[in-house]
């Protein structure tokens, strides 16, 4: 059966239906067809307007089973802290020379971490890192003196999230090869983290809608 017809038939089976997390994950795992290891993605529509500072939803969550993604981590640090970063598994560690390298276009990283004393250097390339979502931020734990913990958390699959202009938060929460139990744990952990991140300015219904999908699969509505 061709992929288009296959997905079309799947959508007919789930039309107007809602699932709990366990049911949704089981459905996606059992109906996978592609040979590569698909990512399980979650999308949450929140009742916030991120244009207002007191309604911004942004943070990090360490998933119990990681996210299955190989994270490339760059660290701005010197001396002892640079050694700690390397020992923790950072892919590249540097200072002024690293900033220059990034300024020349080397931005092949998933996470950029910096010690507080290096923010003067990092600030010079803020206009480059910011649009890529790579600018270190104390609230996200990426500006820290505890470099070892930050690097290890990033490498273990710690997920950063941020509400888009429309109030939607999206993230990859694991690979289909994890199996149902681990994926359910990850999804529930992510939802719980968003619930705890409810901003003071959010009024009325905070979580309006949740859907879960696989890279090449259908999207399933989740009971809230």
pLDDT in tens, the chain (224 residues): 444 665 565 656 666 688 999 999 998 998 887 788 999 999 999 999 999 999 999 999 999 999 998 899 999 999 999 999 999 999 999 999 999 999 999 999 999 999 999 999 999 999 999 999 899 999 899 999 999 999 999 999 899 999 999 999 999 999 999 999 999 999 999 999 999 999 999 999 999 999 999 988 788 999 88
Predicted pLDDT at 6: 57
Predicted pLDDT at 218: 82
> Measuring CA to CA, which residue among 58, 82, 60 is closest to residue 71?
60
Distance separating alpha carbons of residues 17 and 15, to the nearest angstrom? 5
Domain 18-66+159-222 carries which CATH code?
Answer: 3.30.190.20
With the CA atoms of 149, 154, 159 and 160 taken in that order, what torsion angle do they form, in degrees rounded to the nearest 10?
80
Distance separating alpha carbons of residues 51 and 28, to the nearest angstrom? 34
For the chain, the structural domain boundaries read 18-66+159-222, 73-155
On whether the CB atoms of residues 39 and 172 are closer than 8 A, the answer is yes
Q: If you ran DSSP here, which 8-state letter would residue 217 be given?
A: S
Distance separating alpha carbons of residues 91 and 160, to the nearest angstrom? 19
Predicted pLDDT at 90: 97
**Other CB atoms within 10 Å distance of the CB of residue 100:** 14
Q: Is the dihedral of CA 83, 77, 81, 85 positive or negative?
A: negative
Predicted pLDDT at 4: 61
Domain 73-155 carries which CATH code?
Answer: 3.40.50.790
Helix H or strand E segment including 174: strand 168-175
pTM, entire model: 0.83
Give the number of residues written for the chain: 224
Largest CA distance in the chain: 60
Q: What is the token pair recorded at 97?
A: 């020379």
Q: What is the token pair recorded at 212?
A: 């879960």
Predicted pLDDT at 36: 85
Distance separating alpha carbons of residues 204 and 212, to the nearest angstrom? 23
């Amino acid at each position: 059966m061709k992929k288009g017809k296959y997905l079309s038939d799947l959508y007919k089976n789930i039309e107007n239906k809602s699932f709990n997390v366990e049911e949704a994950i089981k459905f996606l795992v059992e109906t996978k067809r592609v040979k590569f290891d698909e990512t399980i993605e979650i999308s949450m529509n929140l009742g916030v307007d991120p244009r207002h500072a007191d309604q911004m939803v942004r943070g990090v969550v360490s998933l119990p089973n990681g996210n299955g993604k190989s994270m490339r981590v760059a660290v701005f640090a010197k001396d002892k802290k640079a050694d700690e970063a390397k020992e923790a598994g950072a892919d590249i560690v540097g200072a002024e020379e690293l900033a220059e390298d990034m300024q020349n276009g080397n931005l092949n990283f998933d996470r950029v971490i910096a010690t507080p004393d290096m923010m003067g250097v990092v600030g010079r390339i803020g206009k480059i890192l910011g649009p890529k979502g790579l600018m270190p931020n104390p609230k996200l734990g990426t500006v820290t003196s505890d470099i070892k913990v930050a690097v290890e958390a990033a490498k273990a699959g710690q997920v950063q999230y941020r509400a888009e202009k429309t109030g939607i938060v999206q993230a990859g929460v694991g690979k289909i090869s994890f199996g149902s139990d681990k994926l359910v744990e990850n999804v529930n952990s992510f939802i719980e983290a968003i619930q705890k991140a409810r901003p003071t300015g959010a009024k009325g219904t905070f979580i309006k809608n949740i859907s879960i999908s696989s890279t090449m699969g259908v999207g399933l509505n989740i009971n809230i």
